[in-house]
Amino acid sequence: MAGLLHLDASARSRSFSRELGGVFAAAWREAHPDGDYVHRDLVAEPVPFIDEAWTELCDNVLSSGITDLHRLKENVRTPRQAAAWATLEPLFDELVAADVVLIATPMYNFGVPASLKAWIDQVTFPKMRLTGRRFVVASARGGAYGPGTPREPFDHQERYLRDFFAGHFAVEDVAFLSVELVNALIDPGLAGRRAEHGESHAAALEAARTLAKEY
């Protein structure tokens, strides 16, 4: 049975990334009526930052060589490590159980929100592999950061996530759906680019519906 883990990371309750992720999730659930669907709002239910006990768990993974996803708990050795594991275990289990991971996130300050980074830190251990799973990132950005744009070098959102998925999860199958120029709706200096935003918005929504049916 297929499974979808849907994460929301926008601080806005009504945001383009939430809308885009919601469209993908709805289309996926329609295409997989018997599939498992888990939604986690990383803002409504913030994930704690990692602590020293979590770093000890990582050290234990390296020293023991136990990297099998279903055996990582064997690296827990002390009461405070057990407490750290209890915090991350439900997050980790949701991730491991999913066939498709949908991350709906805005670009904040050229990167990802702290809410998403906290989740990433909690569920990531040395030498873990999530091959066979597919990742979809539904993003929204205030400006234009696509290939060939002046601000492309400042895009540390998509670049970071691609590098992270490949380097830590050994996953290359990542699709990015992006709504660009959302600030054109409120910034007078970008008002002349509202049509570009509208085109980007419409194209991203259509791509989300199409991609969900393929996944």
Domains belonging to the chain, first-starting first, are 3-214 (3.40.50.360)
Residue 108 counted as an annotated binding residue: yes
Strand ranges, E, within 55-133: 100-106
10 is in an annotated binding site: yes
Q: Count the Cβ atoms, other than its own, within 10 Å of residue 162.
A: 16
Q: What pLDDT, on the 0 to 100 scale, is given for residue 82?
A: 98
pLDDT of residue 60: 97
Is 15 a known ligand-binding residue? yes
Residue 4 CA to residue 211 CA, distance in Å, equals 13
Q: Please indicate if the annotation marks 17 as binding a ligand.
A: yes
pLDDT tens digits, one per residue of 4-21: 999 999 999 999 999 999
**107 assigned binding-site residue:** yes
Tell me: pLDDT of 1 over 80: no
Q: What is the DSSP letter of 135?
A: E
Q: Report the predicted TM-score, pTM, of the whole model to 2 decimal places.
A: 0.94
pLDDT band at 47 (very low <50, low <70, confident <90, very high): very high
Output 148 or 34, whichever has higher pLDDT: 34
Residues 24, 211 contacting (CB under 8 angstroms):
yes
Each residue of 133-174: pLDDT tens digit?
Answer: 999 999 999 888 888 888 889 999 999 999 999 999 999 889
Residue 168: count of CB within 10 angstroms of its CB? 17
Q: What percent of the chain has pLDDT over 70?
A: 100
| pLDDT number for residue 152 | 85
